[in-house]
Structure 1
Amino acid sequence: MPFRGGARHGSSRRSGIRAVECRPVGQSPKAYPSNLQGNRVTTATQTILFTDLAGYTESVAGVDREGLRRILKQHEERVRPIVENYGGRVVKNIGDSFLCLFPSATDGLRAALDIHHLRQTQESLELRLALNTGDVEIIDGDAFGDPVNLAARILARTPAGEVWFSNATRLCMNASEVPWEPVGSFRLKGVPGEIACYRLVPEDRVWLPQRVSIAAGQGRLVSITPDHPTPKLPPDPIILFQGFEPGSARLAEAVDALPVLSPDVLYLADYRIAAGERQAWLDAGCGLIIGTPTAVTFALAEFSRDRRDNGDSGDGAQLTVLVKRIEEITLEIVFGGLALPRVPLADVVAAYHYELTPDGDWATESDRALLRIAVTREGVELHARCSEIAVGGGALAEDEKVMLAKRQIINTPAGGFEFLPLEGEYCGALLRDTTLKLGVGRGQTVELGRQPRAPGFAFPRRPGQTNIRWCAGSKARQAREQDFTLDRGLVGRRQFAIRVGHGSLELVPMHKECTTYVLRDGGLVEILQPVPVRFGDQVIAGTTVVALRRP
C-alpha cells in the first residue's frame, strides 16, 4: 500500500450536511425503537460520528438510479458492521452520509479509523469522517442537539480522506489507544468562537511539520535511533528521535548527549502515545510527529526526492526582480516583515489581526494559519494556532496566547521573526527578510506602493475586511462600505521612491496623506521630504516593511 506524506493544515471541501433531516436507515419512525417516556425526551452523553463520501455529487452525476442505490448500499454494508462491532449504531442516512452514535468516545474513534481504511469501488470517492461528544437528545431513535450540529460542522471542514474530531471527544477518549494530533482552531458556520479540531492518523499516512520536511530537503534533518549514536550535526539541525519509548531513560540519555540546542528543534516520532508522556514532551518545548515508522520514513524520503527532482536546494523559491538589464546590482530592496499600526486608528479601526501562513506570508484570514497577531488597545497579542511556536525560546502550547511587549525572537515552522516594539503611530513590527527582492543599479530610481509606475515594486495585497474590528460611528461605517483595508487605506498607489546614486541612497516620499517612516536603530523617523538613507535601514509604509540591503 503506498504511503502518503503531507504538510499540515490542508485545504478542505465544504459539505452541506444537516444533521436532523432524514429517517433512520431502512426503518420507518414507527418501526424504530422509541426512547420516549411519556412526553419526556431521553438525553444521553454520546459520541456522534458522521461519515461522508467525498466527491460523491460529482462522481454520480452520470450514474443511473440503480448504480446510485448500489453505491449507497455498499457504503452502508461496509460501515454498519464496523459501527456495531464497536458498540455503536447507525442512526440514519443523510444523502451519502451516515449518522452514528457510540456510548464510548474511544470506541467511536477506533471505529472511525477502521472505516477510514475502507476503499470505495469508485476511485474518485474518498471518505471523510468527523466526531463530537456531548449530551444528545434521543427522540424516536433519532439524534438531536448542539453536539450533533457541531459534529456536522466539523465534517464540513474536514478534508477528503481525513478523520477530524472535537476537543470534547479528545477529553473523553483514552489517548493511548488512538493515534491523533491537533489540526488547529477554526471558525465554523453557526458556531460561536473558534473550535479546536484534532485528527486521527491512519497507519499509512503522516503529516510532517513544515520545518521537518524542509530540513529533510536541505540535508539538515538528523535522525537518531537507539541503535545509532549521535552523529556529527550539520549547521542549524532539526533532530528527529525514532524508535524510542516516550518517557524512557534511553530517550532522556539521547537528548542529554546532544549539544545545547533549542528544544523546538527536537522532534519525537511515535504512533500511539499516552497523554502524560505526550504532555511532558510538549511541555519541554519539543515537537511530535505522529506516524508509524514506515510511514514517517517513506514521507521523509518522498520530500527529499521531490526537492531533488525539482532542482530545489531547499532554500525556497527566490524572486529577484531587476529594474532593467544592468551589469551590477548596487541595492537590493527586500520585503522585510509586517508593521503594526497602533489602534484606535482614525476613529475607523478599533482592533485588527493578521495570520501567518505556512508559506511565511501574512494574510487577513487563513485556514492553515500557524499563528495570529492581534492588535488591540491593550497591545500586541500572539495566538499560537499550532504546537510549533516558540517565543523568546519558550515553546507555546497550541491555542496559547501571549502578549508581546519586548524585543524577542518568534520561531515558527515558516521561519523566525523578530518582534520589535515601537513608539508613536506603530506599536511594533515583525521583522524578517523574505525572498521577494528588487535589484536596483546605480543611477536608477524605483517607485514603491500599491500601483507604482514602472520600474517599480508593488506592495503585497491582503484583501478582505474580516480581520478588522470597527469603531462605532458613521466614519467607520463609511470606510467599511468603501472596502477600506489597512493595506489600501494607509498606503498610496505611489508611496515613495528610492534613488540610487554614486555611493548614495535617497528616499523620496510621494504621497501627501499616507506617511512613510524610516526604521533605524530601533526607532521610527517620519519622512516629509527627500532624505538620505543607508544600507540596513528599513522603510515602513502602512503594514509593509521594506529593508535596504547590500546585494
Structure 2
Amino acid sequence: MSQSRPQTILFADVSGSTRLFETKGDVEARRLIALVLDALSAVCGQHGGRVIKTIGDEIMCTFPRAMNGVLAACDMQRRLARDIVFVRDNLAVRIGLHHGDALEEADGDVYGDAVNVAARMTSLAKREQVVTTAATYDGLTGKAPEARSLGKARVSGKLLPIAIVDLVWQEDTSGMTLVQTGPRQGTGEDGGVETVLRLKHRGEVVELRPDSEPFLMGREPGNQLVVEADWVSRTHAMVEFKRGHFMLADRSTNGTYVRMGEDDELKLHRDEVHLRKSGTISLGQSFAANSGDVIHFEAD
C-alpha cells in the first residue's frame, strides 16, 4: 500500500555527460559514469540514505531527515573533488534536494511534491553545486553547512516562486560571500531594485521579471514568442530567472546565437548563458545569415 511521509529527496547527475560520450566513446564514458554513480551510492549509504534508482547519468536517493541529505550532498561533492580519476577526466556532478512529503510505493519508488521540487533544484544547479530550498535549509538543526542565497525560482505546481540556496561544501571558503537568509534580489516592496528583462522582436516588446513564468521561444504556436523558420526548432530556447539572473537556455537542434554588446557572437547548444546588459539573440542561424529576424534584449 502507498504511504506518504516526510523525507528528503536528492538527485545528482553527472555534468557534461554528453561531451564525455563524444570525447571518450560510448564504452569508456559509460564506465566512468558508472564509477561516479557507485561513489555517490556509497556516500548515500554512509549517511543513512537509500538509493531509489539510477537512470543514465543520474541517481535518486532518499534520506529520513534533511540533515542526512544535506551532509550526504556535501560529501558527494567532496568525494568527486578529491578523487584523482574524476579530477583527471573533469568529472563533476550537480545536486538538488528538498525535504517534504513524498508518496512511497510498495516497490520502493517515491513520488509526489517533494520529488518534483528536488528535481527542479537539480535543474537549477551548476556543476559542483548543491542547491536546495530555503525551507529545507531553515529546517536544519545542529551544525549545518553555510549557504548562499540564490534568490527565488519558479517551480512547476507552485503558485509563487520559492527561495533557494546554494550549500557551501568546500572546506576552504575564503573569498566567498556567505548569505544564509533572504533572497538575493529585491522586489521593490522592501526597497530593493527589481530586475527586468525586455525582449523585442518585430515591434513587439515583452517584459520579464523574477516571478515571470519561463519564456519559451520556437516555431510552434505554443511558445510565447513564435519564430516561423525551418531552422528553428519546435521549442528552441527558454529564458528563465534563476540563481539571481535571467538565463537563456538552448534546447534546439541548430543552436542559439547570442551577442552581448560589442562582444563576439556566441553559439549555445544545449547550454545556457547569463543575459547581461543588452544584446541580440538569433535562433538557429548566425547573425550573418539571420540579420532580419533577431531578438533584442535589454536587462535593467
TM-score under structure 2 length normalisation: 0.58
1:87 CA displacement? 0.5
Measure the CA separation in 1 of the matches of 2:89 and 2:151: 29
2:64 is aligned, of 95, 103, 116, to 103
* Counterpart in the other structure of 2:208: 467
Contact persistence 2:14–2:33 (CA under 8 A)? no
* Counterpart in the other structure of 1:204: 172
Q: Describe the superposition over 1:126-154 as per-residue Cα deviations: whole angstroms up to 9, x where unpaired.
A: 21111101111111111111110111111
Contact persistence 1:130–1:151 (CA under 8 A)? yes
Measure the CA separation in 2 of the matches of 1:57 and 1:175: 39
Of 136-145 and 165-174, the range deviating more from structure 2: 165-174
Measure the CA separation in 2 of the matches of 1:44 and 1:189: 21
Measure the CA separation in 2 of the matches of 1:371 and 1:206: 26
Contact persistence 1:134–1:168 (CA under 8 A)? no
Measure the CA separation in 1 of the matches of 2:174 and 2:122: 20
Quote the RMSD (CA, aligned, Å).
Answer: 3.4
SS at match of 2:13: strand
The one-letter code sitting in structure 2 at the alignment partner of 1:160 is R
1:124 CA displacement? 3.0
* Counterpart in the other structure of 1:131: 97
Q: Does residue 157 in structure 1 map to residue 115 in structure 2?
A: no
Q: Percent identity at matched positions?
A: 27
Structure 1 residue runs of 5 or longer lacking an equivalent are: 1-39, 210-268, 271-277, 283-367, 373-381, 383-400, 405-409, 413-460, 470-479, 483-551
Measure the CA separation in 1 of the matches of 2:69 and 2:145: 10
Measure the CA separation in 1 of the matches of 2:160 and 2:49: 30
State the structure with more CA Rg. 1
1:58 CA displacement? 1.6
Q: Describe the superposition over 1:429-483 as per-residue Cα deviations: whole angstroms up to 9, x where unpaired.
A: xxxxxxxxxxxxxxxxxxxxxxxxxxxxxxxx942514389xxxxxxxxxx999x
Measure the CA separation in 1 of the matches of 2:16 and 2:157: 24
Matches within 5 A, 1:380-399: 382=188
* Counterpart in the other structure of 2:50: 89
TM-score under structure 1 length normalisation: 0.33
Runs of 4+ off more than 6 Å: none
Contact persistence 1:164–1:200 (CA under 8 A)? yes
Structure 2 CA distance for partners of 1:481 and 1:147, relative to 1, 3 Å: closer
Measure the CA separation in 2 of the matches of 1:48 and 1:207: 31
* Counterpart in the other structure of 1:69: 30
* Counterpart in the other structure of 2:277: none
Structure 2 residue runs of 5 or longer lacking an equivalent are: 81-85, 201-205, 212-223, 227-300
Structure 2 CA distance for partners of 1:45 and 1:56, relative to 1, 3 Å: same
* Counterpart in the other structure of 2:285: none
Structure 2 CA distance for partners of 1:143 and 1:481, relative to 1, 3 Å: closer
1:168 CA displacement? 3.2
Contact persistence 2:8–2:63 (CA under 8 A)? yes
1:109 CA displacement? 0.4
Measure the CA separation in 2 of the matches of 1:186 and 1:206: 27
* Counterpart in the other structure of 1:178: 145
How many correspondences in the alignment?
Answer: 200
The one-letter code sitting in structure 1 at the alignment partner of 2:186 is L
Measure the CA separation in 1 of the matches of 2:153 and 2:174: 21
Measure the CA separation in 2 of the matches of 1:82 and 1:184: 29
* Counterpart in the other structure of 1:60: 21
The one-letter code sitting in structure 1 at the alignment partner of 2:148 is E
Structure 2 CA distance for partners of 1:195 and 1:124, relative to 1, 3 Å: same
The one-letter code sitting in structure 2 at the alignment partner of 1:116 is Q
1:187 CA displacement? 2.0
* Counterpart in the other structure of 1:396: none
Structure 2 CA distance for partners of 1:59 and 1:69, relative to 1, 3 Å: closer
1:175 CA displacement? 5.5
Matches within 5 A, 1:365-514: 370-372=185-187, 382=188, 401-402=189-190, 462-463=198-199, 465-467=206-208
Measure the CA separation in 2 of the matches of 1:149 and 1:107: 19
The one-letter code sitting in structure 2 at the alignment partner of 1:141 is G
Contact persistence 2:49–2:69 (CA under 8 A)? yes
Measure the CA separation in 2 of the matches of 1:43 and 1:178: 28
Structure 2 CA distance for partners of 1:153 and 1:54, relative to 1, 3 Å: same
Matches within 5 A, 1:318-397: 370-372=185-187, 382=188
Contact persistence 2:9–2:118 (CA under 8 A)? yes
1:205 CA displacement? 4.1
The one-letter code sitting in structure 1 at the alignment partner of 2:27 is E
Structure 2 CA distance for partners of 1:160 and 1:207, relative to 1, 3 Å: farther
